[in-house]
Amino acid sequence: MALEELLVQLSVDARWSAAELRHTPEGTIVQRGTARVLLVSAERVVAEPELVERAIRGDHGLLIVGAAPARAKEVLRPGSNVAVLDDGADDDQAYLAIDGLLERVELKQNAVNNTRELSRSRYELDEFVTIARAIARERDTDKLLALILEKSRYLTGADAGSIYVLEPEPPLTGSKPPVIHSGRKLRFKLSQNESREFQAREYTIPVSAQSIAGAAALSRQPINVADVYQLDAQKPYTFDPSFDKRVGYRTVSMLAMPMISAEDEVIGVIQLINRKRDPRAKLVDPADFTREVTNFDERAEELVSALAAQAGIALENALLYQEIQRIFDGFVHASVRAIEQRDPTTSGHSQRVAALACTLAERIDGASDGLYAGTHFSREQLRELHYASLLHDFGKIGVREQVLVKAKKLYPHELQSIRDRINYALKCVEADTLTRKISLMQAGGGAADLHALDLDLTARKASLLAALETISQANEPTVMAEGDFTRIAEIFGMTVGDGRGESFRLLRESELHALQTPRGSLVASEYDEIRSHVVHTYNFLSQIPWGKGMAQIPLIAGAHHERVNGTGYPRGLKADEIPLQSKIMSVADIYDALTAADRPYKKALPLERALQILDFEVKDGHLDAELVKLFREAKVYESTERKLRY
């Protein structure tokens, strides 16, 4: 059968009604659905051998009609979609040959499409898993929302988009159904746009069916709009074009997808705008919107729906984490306030130490040379240091309050007791003098003898008052001169008769011991009690289940009084045995203690004097030299106030 005969037969035979016969510049084509078969003569194959190559590589079949000369057979390399119809074939054989080619082409197309679809699905699945992991790891809600929107746009090829978050609602009594109550609002949090730059501020819109985002939240279903300027009049929602007019943009297609939490509650809406045929294209001119923008198809909707489900849970977790963080932060600061109420003299100390310590850690993190070059503190480690610094004096709750607030060597009641004793002694010497005068007068003593008694009384009273003055001066928590120790011992040896034949001392032994404290206000036992706060801090903080991210808080806080040379307490750790964070806190703690203006027992030292003392602490082997150097060079001392940024 020649090609001309076959074409005539095809045009008149009813069996070919399901196929489409077309004459094109390429040749005559029989087409069924998307499958095509090109009909050519054997002579043409000889003249154009690339027809066979194209058929083998391409997506169409090739039927060679007619007696193929020897030369045609030499170039003919039949593939699965190439066949030959010989001269002797009838129309049934022609039908079977063409039908078989169409079927093989359809199978090949389906296989290719399936392979492409499988590759696309695998790619999308890999991307989705990667995105889901990234979303699940993020705890900062602002960063999380930006990531959710960015990845939603990436999966769908959207040019722009926005995210709305449902604002919290006052708690309801009884069970709470998964519906949105009237009066709720959606807060616009952020927007992204690849084709326009603009500044956006947060605002709220009512959760109502009048807006596309509000309708998606209310219905808990996606809303997919092909053109927001051609909305169905039967729909309750409208489109506000003010943004487009303000920035010179044109919103066309839109997909609003609600985010559902694990508790089956709507917590936000992802709103995607202008899906592009070419995700890399920029929408600048009006023609760009016409050429590039298309609607969000079913596949895009499925992808965003899956991502929104993951995003809703991730956002809920992030908000819960944020709420737990606020509760935890409140607990820590409440604990600090409780300690400061027991020891008001150190009010604000913990916050300042935390600010100084974290700032110094950040400077270490950025150091390019020196002992700590390459040292890195993660966000979690900085948070750990922050809380350890805030709670480093938490153990003071286990120290007697009178010891904590003891400003002078004697407790107020002890000094008052001494004053009462000396006042009583004054009365006793006066009574003794009067008794002696009466006895002298009864014995006939003269005026000279009485005058001598008056002089003696004056001297004894002056001695007692001088003793009180000496005691008052010795009571101050300053460094005592050598002679003061002797004078206090002499006062301790003084006795006064009480008129009943008994005598009493002006000072008790415990008061003598306190007044002879060479420096500060605490005796050795009280100083040991104060030092014990570090042990209490460690023991108390060790009872709290901090979790792995902050597990080192008890150790860091409990070692801030250790010294590099091993003379610190409570464990006498040396150098590398002390956590770096504790060494950092030691510098901050000592600096603030030197410069604090709220200590009643000392004046705040000026900056240079405080830094000089830090240098002395380095020479004495107490502080890390490199940390003090960084503290000075980076002017860390300027960072006494800061908010938690971790």
Could you list the beta-strand ranges (E) of 43-132: 61-65, 82-85
Q: Does one domain contain both 13 and 104?
A: yes
Residue 214: its pLDDT value, please? 94
Measured in whole angstroms, how far is the alpha carbon of residue 28 from the centre of its chain? 68
Domain membership flag for residue 576: yes
Q: SS3 of 254, please?
A: strand
Q: Does one domain contain both 306 and 160?
A: yes
- Run means of pLDDT, 10 residues per run, the chain, 646 residues: 72 67 83 86 81 78 73 58 80 84 85 71 70 76 87 90 85 52 81 90 91 94 95 92 91 94 88 93 92 93 87 82 85 86 80 94 86 89 94 90 87 94 94 90 86 92 94 84 80 88 91 89 89 93 88 95 95 94 96 78 82 95 95 87 52
Measured in whole angstroms, how far is the alpha carbon of residue 411 from the centre of its chain? 47
Q: Does one domain contain both 285 and 190?
A: yes
Residue 17: its pLDDT value, please? 63
Mean pLDDT of the chain: 86
Q: SS3 of 622, please?
A: coil
Rg of the chain on CA atoms, in Å = 46
Position 404, amino acid: L
CB 102 within 8 A of CB 122: no
Domain membership flag for residue 331: no
What CATH number does the domain containing 197 carry?
3.30.450.40
- DSSP-derived letter for residue 266 is E
Q: Does one domain contain both 147 and 92?
A: no
Distance CA 498, CA 179 (A): 87
Domain membership flag for residue 632: yes
347: tokens are 């009010």
Domain membership flag for residue 513: yes
Q: SS3 of 128, please?
A: helix
- Is the bond into 570 cis (omega within 30 degrees of 0)? yes
Q: Does one domain contain both 62 and 75?
A: yes
363: tokens are 């400077």
Residue 223: its pLDDT value, please? 96
- Domain final position from 521, 538, 560: 521
Number of domains in the chain: 4
Domain membership flag for residue 116: no
What CATH number does the domain containing 576 carry?
1.10.3210.10
Residue 161: its pLDDT value, please? 95
Distance CA 380, CA 322 (A): 14
**Which tens digits make up the pLDDT trace of 161-215?**
999 999 876 555 555 545 555 578 999 999 999 999 888 889 999 999 999 999 9
Q: Does one domain contain both 295 and 242?
A: yes
Q: Does one domain contain both 273 and 157?
A: yes
Residue 564: its pLDDT value, please? 95
What CATH number does the domain containing 51 carry?
3.40.50
Q: Does one domain contain both 391 and 448?
A: no
Domain membership flag for residue 121: no
Domain membership flag for residue 122: no
Domain membership flag for residue 551: yes
Q: Does one domain contain both 63 and 32?
A: yes
Q: Does one domain contain both 92 and 74?
A: yes
Per this entry, what is the length of the chain? Answer: 646
Q: Does one domain contain both 78 and 63?
A: yes
For residue 29, give its domain range.
3-111
CB 498 within 8 A of CB 428: yes
